[in-house]
Structure 1
Amino acid sequence: MSDTRRLTVAELPDRVVVTLDRPERRNAIDQRMVDELHEVCDALERAPRILILTGSGGVFASGADIAQLRERTAADAASGINDSAFTRIAELPMPVIAALDGYALGGGAELAYAADLRIGTPRVRIGNPETGLGIIAAAGALWRLPALVGLPLATELVLTGRLLTGEEALAAGLVSSLHDPDELLAAAHALADRIAANDPLATRHTKRVLREPADRHPAAEREAQAELFDSPEKHRRMTEFLERRRRT
């Protein structure tokens, strides 16, 4: 195996941009890439920041590395190699933005589904063709995708392997906007700018409470709001708001 790293990581004060950077394999997700994603999660769990995920070479990720996948055993499946990394990404304290171009297939699609926000380009092709390879989409598609696009469409996609175009993904709500490829990363940063302008603690609580199970509401909201109501940042931001309103 090559010693070349699979991810390019650019760190900014309020965000981290991670580029899947294995263009010779269309950014196929192998064990090394999974290990490096865990390293990213280690850092963002210790020092929470927004995460932007994108791919190099006009591709997000063409799926799992089939050569490695072919050799995996039942024990590997039970260990949830990709799923453990994608779940960890989904559970990061701050929002995750996936900027999708070209292929986002199989495990690449499931990595995108783990993000909080997805944007794309018109040339996106996203979906889960796993059953054609004799396996199931076991890294989140069978439960995250129905939550994102509804059970009927998700059922069709995972049973037929049909890929959505960028326009179809936009119509289904799987991506929230489409951009020219040259403008995709700038659009992801614009989303991150809007998030970063808000109170980080309120953002973290909002993401966490959004993901609470139904039986935790409204208790989860009340608990989070109680902490925020006593925070100095809430008082500062509301005071500034009232002062601006008085000046207008």
Structure 2
Amino acid sequence: MDEDDTPLRIERCADRVVATLHRPRVRNAIDQDLVDRLHALCGELEASPRILIITGAGGVFASGADIAQLRDRRAADARAGINTAVFTRIRALPMPVIAAVDGYALGGGAELAYAADLRLGTPTTKIGNPETGLGIIAGAGATWRLPELVGEARAAELLFTGRILGADEALAWGLLTAVHPADELIPAAHALADRIVANDPLAVRHTKTALRAPADAHPAIELALQAELFESPEKRRRMTAFLDRRAR
């Protein structure tokens, strides 16, 4: 396959990976091939944890699931959770996931963004779930992740009506954490990643584990994770360095 036709372009660094959805003819719609490639990337990041920055090429994050494939899927395909499985795997990656959302993030594209830990946008960001207008539901994460992000009432409004949020409203609702000019979006994502990787990687991983734990796991999970960190040489090194700086 020619590099220009690769649907998922991957740039690897020691502490992060940038994955760019690249299906320009269909506005980066998510098809089975792209799902398979995302699964392969998840396997890589599960074995070698790094921050993931995920974005889309051509001024579009992802226009949704590939309707040409989705139209022909039947009940067994729905129960298989094709997109659900890969978005769940992305959500569960050990290190934080940053979605850099330029332009449209609709349907499955929005659900991919919801699976990230952090979402940055641009002034042209449009995000939402128009699935009910196509005779289906937002079945790959929106019905449970969106209420966590914006509250039950706002999630219900968006999912029932199919209304699409612009960047300002998405920022005001907390769906985006910041909005940057399009040419500054990826640098901003890298700057956010830089701030994360300056911290202890194990503490970051354990923080994500605690954040994603079910309600009935708290506070026991924090106590167990903190107990492990209290025995870490890195904790002692960082605290000693802090005390030395303060003493100067």
TM-score by length of 2: 0.98
Deviations 1:48-103 (A, max 9, x none): 00000000000000000000000111000000000000000000000000000100
Paired position in structure 2 for 1:172:
173
Paired position in structure 2 for 1:126:
127
Deviations 1:27-65 (A, max 9, x none): 000000000000110000000000000000000000000
Amino acid at match of 1:17: V
Paired position in structure 2 for 1:159:
160
Matched, 1:18 2:19: yes
Q: 1:137, CA displacement in angstroms?
A: 0.3
Amino acid at match of 1:8: R
Q: 1:214, CA displacement in angstroms?
A: 1.3
Paired position in structure 1 for 2:243:
242
Distance of 1:142 and 1:87 partners within structure 2: 13
Deviations 1:194-220 (A, max 9, x none): 000000000000000111111111100
Paired position in structure 2 for 1:138:
139
Distance of 1:154 and 1:218 partners within structure 2: 28
Q: 1:5, CA displacement in angstroms?
A: 2.5
Matched, 1:86 2:87: yes
- Give 1:93-132 correspondences, 5 Å limit: 93-132=94-133
Amino acid at match of 2:219: P
Paired position in structure 2 for 1:202:
203
Amino acid at match of 2:81: G
List gaps (5 residues or longer) in structure 2.
none
Q: 1:2, CA displacement in angstroms?
A: 9.9
Distance of 1:94 and 1:72 partners within structure 2: 33
Q: How many residues align?
A: 247
Matched, 1:72 2:73: yes
Distance of 2:37 and 2:214 partners within structure 1: 30
Paired position in structure 2 for 1:33:
34
Deviations 1:201-246 (A, max 9, x none): 0000000011111111110010000000000100110111111111
Amino acid at match of 1:222: L
Amino acid at match of 1:77: A
Paired position in structure 2 for 1:192:
193
* Structure 1 range deviating more: 3-12 or 183-192: 3-12
List gaps (5 residues or longer) in structure 1.
none
Distance of 1:6 and 1:241 partners within structure 2: 45
Distance of 1:82 and 1:214 partners within structure 2: 25
Deviations 1:96-115 (A, max 9, x none): 00000100000000000000
2:28 alignment partner, SS class: coil
Deviations 1:172-199 (A, max 9, x none): 0000000000000000001000000000
TM-score by length of 1: 0.98
Paired position in structure 2 for 1:228:
229
2:180 alignment partner, SS class: coil
Q: Which runs of 4+ in 1 moved over 2 A?
A: 1-5
Amino acid at match of 1:210: L
Amino acid at match of 1:43: E
1:59 alignment partner, SS class: coil
1:71 alignment partner, SS class: coil
Amino acid at match of 2:192: L
Distance of 1:214 and 1:63 partners within structure 2: 31
